[in-house]
């Protein structure tokens, strides 16, 4: 993906034309389906299920870094993430959950959540874009229902 | 690195012979220097500074997943992480901070914090073990002092 100009990056940090602000609340957007609206965030199931269970928890309002949040927002956001983690843990029974905030392309706070299984190589570098696997609509709906049951 | 047996992993999750519990509070351990003791965590500067500014914030007590924490612990831990992020942001002036919890080898909750600069390729996959760069003692001490000033 192309580098942005410093001016474009600065605008994104200010939330101007932030693509996440535009579509993070939708039942379905280009990349994901809404799992749940939580206190400070939207939990979304990624359409790309190459990483089984790949879920994103995105802050409702625009902010870029954790230190921009008021104490109650920060606490509420991580309570949301923990709640989603517990649901994924129950559904997938993994060895470990990954909680990953990057934001190199879109600084809007969003945590990528992956389930890491015991059988997987623990030293393998985590690459969110490693592959693509898209499911049939009914399969997404089944997954969404299973996770929602635990939320 | 070798896979652990399911039994070894289960013990680690219970905190039995957890290497992080053993050395995370030390002024210096094999991998890092203590930056600060915070309310719920220890902030540590990695000795490997291949990723400039690479810092780890590790929970004081043993826990593996965010949902194992009591609400005040969870809120306190992320307040600590946000405080460290603000200090790193002030010292390094990056485009973005990365907040990464994996735990594939040691499940004890610890957040890897990297500073991502505007000049870097935003699509490059983050690999904590990409390279090694060790500094002279005086250089570590300078970095530690600079970050501490902002904490």
User: What would the pLDDT profile of B12-58 be if each residue is shown by its tens digit?
Assistant: 999 999 999 999 999 999 999 999 999 999 999 999 999 999 999 99
The answer to whether the CB atoms of A101 and B99 lie below 8 A apart is yes
What lies within 8 Å, CB to CB, of A12 at 6+ separation is: A4, A18, A106, A107, A108
ipTM: 0.97
pLDDT recorded at residue B2? 67
Q: Is B64 left (phi over 0), alpha (psi -120 to 50) or beta?
A: alpha
Q: Alpha-carbon distance A68 to B68, whole Å? A: 25
The answer to whether the CB atoms of B127 and A125 lie below 8 A apart is yes
Distances (CA, A) of B64 to B35, B36, B81, B134: 22, 22, 16, 29
The answer to whether the CB atoms of A96 and B64 lie below 8 A apart is yes
Alpha helix positions (H), B6-105: 6-14, 19-23, 71-92
The answer to whether the CB atoms of A71 and B75 lie below 8 A apart is yes
The answer to whether the CB atoms of A122 and B81 lie below 8 A apart is no
Q: Alpha-carbon distance A58 to A21, whole Å? A: 10
CA angle, residues B57, B59, B63, in degrees to nearest 5: 135
Contact residues, chain A, for B97 at CB < 8 Å: 65-66
Q: Alpha-carbon distance B6 to B25, whole Å? A: 28
- CA A66 vs. chain centroid, Å, equals 15
What lies within 8 Å, CB to CB, of B101 at 6+ separation is: A98, A99, A100, B66, B109, B110, B111, B112
Q: Residue A53's closest CA among A125, A139, A137?
A: A139
User: In chain B, which among 19-58 make CB contacts under 8 A with chain A?
Assistant: none
pLDDT recorded at residue A133? 98
Helices then strands, counting H and E runs in chain A, come out as 4, 5
Q: What is the pTM (predicted TM-score) of this model?
A: 0.97
Average pLDDT over residues A121-125: 95
pLDDT recorded at residue A11? 97
Contact residues, chain B, for A55 at CB < 8 Å: none
Tell me which residue in B64, B65, B99 faces A66 most closely, judged by beta carbons.
B99
- pLDDT at position A37 over 60: yes
B97 at the A interface (CB within 8 A)?
yes
Handedness of CA B125, B82, A41, A139 (dihedral sign): positive
Distances (CA, A) of A148 to A95, A117, A151, B6: 21, 21, 5, 29
The answer to whether the CB atoms of A118 and B9 lie below 8 A apart is yes
A94 at the B interface (CB within 8 A)?
no
- pLDDT at position B1 over 60: no
- pLDDT at position A69 over 70: yes
Q: What does the pLDDT look like over B95-121, one tens digit per residue?
A: 999 999 999 999 999 999 999 999 999
How many beta-carbon contacts under 8 Å exist across A and B?
128
pLDDT recorded at residue B65? 98
Per-residue pLDDT band at A3 (split at 50, 70, 90): confident
Distances (CA, A) of A55 to A34, A36, A43, A128, A146: 10, 11, 7, 11, 13
pLDDT recorded at residue A2? 67
pLDDT recorded at residue A55? 98
pLDDT recorded at residue B3? 84
User: In chain A, which among 128-147 make CB contacts under 8 A with chain B?
Assistant: 129
Per-residue pLDDT band at A1 (split at 50, 70, 90): low
- Mean pLDDT, chain B, integer: 97
Tell me which residue in A1, A75, A95 faces B122 most closely, judged by beta carbons.
A1
């Amino acid at each position: 993906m192309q580098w942005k100009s410093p001016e474009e990056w600065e605008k994104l940090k200010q939330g101007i034309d932030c693509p996440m602000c535009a579509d993070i609340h939708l039942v379905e957007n280009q990349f994901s389906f809404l799992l749940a609206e939580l206190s400070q965030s939207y939990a979304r199931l990624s359409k790309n299920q190459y990483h089984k269970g790949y879920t994103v928890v995105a802050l409702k309002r625009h902010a870029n870094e954790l230190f921009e949040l008021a104490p109650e927002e920060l606490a509420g956001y991580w309570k949301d993430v923990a709640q989603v983690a517990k649901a994924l843990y129950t559904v997938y029974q993994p060895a470990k959950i990954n909680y990953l905030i990057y934001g190199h392309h879109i600084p809007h706070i969003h945590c990528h959540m992956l389930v890491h299984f015991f059988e997987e190589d623990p030293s393998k570098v985590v690459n969110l874009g490693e592959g693509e696997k898209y499911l049939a609509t009914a399969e997404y709906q089944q997954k969404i229902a299973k996770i929602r049951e635990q939320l």
